[in-house]
Amino acid sequence: MFRKIAVLLMMVVAFGAGVAVVPSEATARYASIVVDADSGQVLHAVNADTRNYPASLTKMMTLYMLFEQLEKGAMTLDQALPVSKRAAGMPPSKLGLKQGGSIKVEDAILALTTKSANDVAVVVAEALGGSEINFAKLMTERAQEIGMTRSTFRNASGLPNRGQKSTARDMVRLAKALMEDFPQYYHYFSATSFSYQGRSYRNHNRLLKSYNGTDGIKTGYTRASGFNLVSSVQRDGRRVIAVVLGGKTAKSRDLHMVKLLDRGFTKLASMGVKTIPAVPDRNPFQNPAATSIEVAAAEPVPAPLRTRPVKPVAASSQIAAVDSGDLAVEGEEITNDWTVQVGAFSRFKAAHSSARAALETAPGVLAGARLAIEKIQSASAGVLYRSQLTGLYEQQAREACQTLIAADLNCVVVQPMAQGSN
């Protein structure tokens, strides 16, 4: 009895002090989505509608609210915003603003997109909403209006709060809304660094410099959320937006994001998407090397012909309902690279028909699989076409083979190729 009373008293004290009660251990669950920004087609999705902690991705919504006020003329870029005692007392990451001081709106924008400063987020919230609590309500209402139906905000920074949740799909919607509603301000997400009062701050988004065509948009991390990232990349006249939530480390999250983006562009090419030369708007913040456009014409084929192994991505209409809770989350540890081979044939058409038959025989367990035909040169048989279904998790691949063999069809499980350490 006394123990229960003590626990209740501790909870009352915590809430009375304004401390958000959050899990002591990380509760992050992996989620990802890749979308063709032009058509809205989902190229890949895993747990895309699972509600996770957004962490500093929240600041994308804070900036959306600020951009709205700038567009309406209610604020200006050189307007000074006051710093309250509460804002100055925010935990890192922060600029170290002092109570009674101020920061210009444009500096605030850059501090949020690069340094991801929590003190600046509160300054903006109080300037727009009077209080951060009221601003969070306005954020949630506006998010619902732009289609983020599974998002709820409790603060402007993304600091831990049980009630602050969003999804990978909602974050894609937010990224698109920022680009389409405020193209005149979107370039701030491409700033690779920011200087303020004699100090220089580097953008946490390393893909801006390392992945060709990246022009935004935001990273995020708390212990409960894991390492999050929303990326926007423009190549060959096409734009792809991708989200990764629940990464184990910043490095592995970035590696995994690169793989998802590569697969997204590969899938667009395999679908025969026509590409046109892109002429990006002048961006004063972007590294020129990272915005170079490579123009290439993609020729449609009846099915992907592979002369070397690739790691394809499931079409959105065939996403498997696979629980990834027990699967590896990030980078080269991700396990949806397994394949089942259902035959090798001397004719492409026969290989294609074999793969289609396998899909029709086991549509449930093979949901999310992508048909791929691998052309090989055999010393004894000449040219052969391997009939394969790719983009599977290990358990999914093994169960698929069991089902196909039970139906008197050939099937062999093919493991992912080992990756080098370079």
> What stretches of 90-234 show up as alpha helix (H) in DSSP?
105-110, 118-129, 132-145, 168-181, 207-210
Hey, what are 45's tokens?
């999705």
Between CA 338 and CA 158 the distance in angstroms is: 36
Distance CA 210, CA 139 (A): 32
How many CB atoms within 10 Å of residue 313? 27
Q: Beta strand pairing status for 412-414 and 338-345? A: antiparallel
- How many other C-beta atoms are found inside a 10 Å radius of the C-beta of residue 181? 15
- Active-site option among 32, 59, 231, 232: 59
CB count within 10 Å of CB 145 equals 10
Contacts made by residues 348-357, CB under 8 angstroms, sequence distance 24+: 348/302, 348/303, 348/305, 348/373, 348/375, 348/385, 350/385, 350/387, 351/385, 351/386, 351/387, 352/302, 352/303, 352/387, 354/387, 355/303, 355/387, 355/388, 355/389, 357/409
Q: Are 90 and 157 in contact (CB under 8 A)?
A: yes
The single residue of 56, 157, 231, 232 carrying the catalytic annotation is: 56
Ordered alpha helix ranges (H), 224-272: 250-270
Annotated active-site residue 84? The verdict is no
Q: Is 116 a catalytic residue?
A: yes
Rounded to the nearest 10°, the torsion over CA 303, 307, 310, 315 is 0
Cα–Cα dist 141/212, whole Å: 35
Separation CA 286–CA 224 (nearest Å): 31
Strand 305-306 relative to strand 370-378: parallel, antiparallel, unpaired? Answer: parallel
d(CA 67, CA 337): 40
> Which position among 32, 84, 93, 116 bears the catalytic label?
116
**Residue 59 catalytic?**
yes
Per-residue CA distances from 397 to 53, 73, 99, 326, 406 (Å):
31, 56, 59, 16, 14
d(CA 228, CA 220): 5
Q: Which residues are catalytic?
A: 56, 59, 116
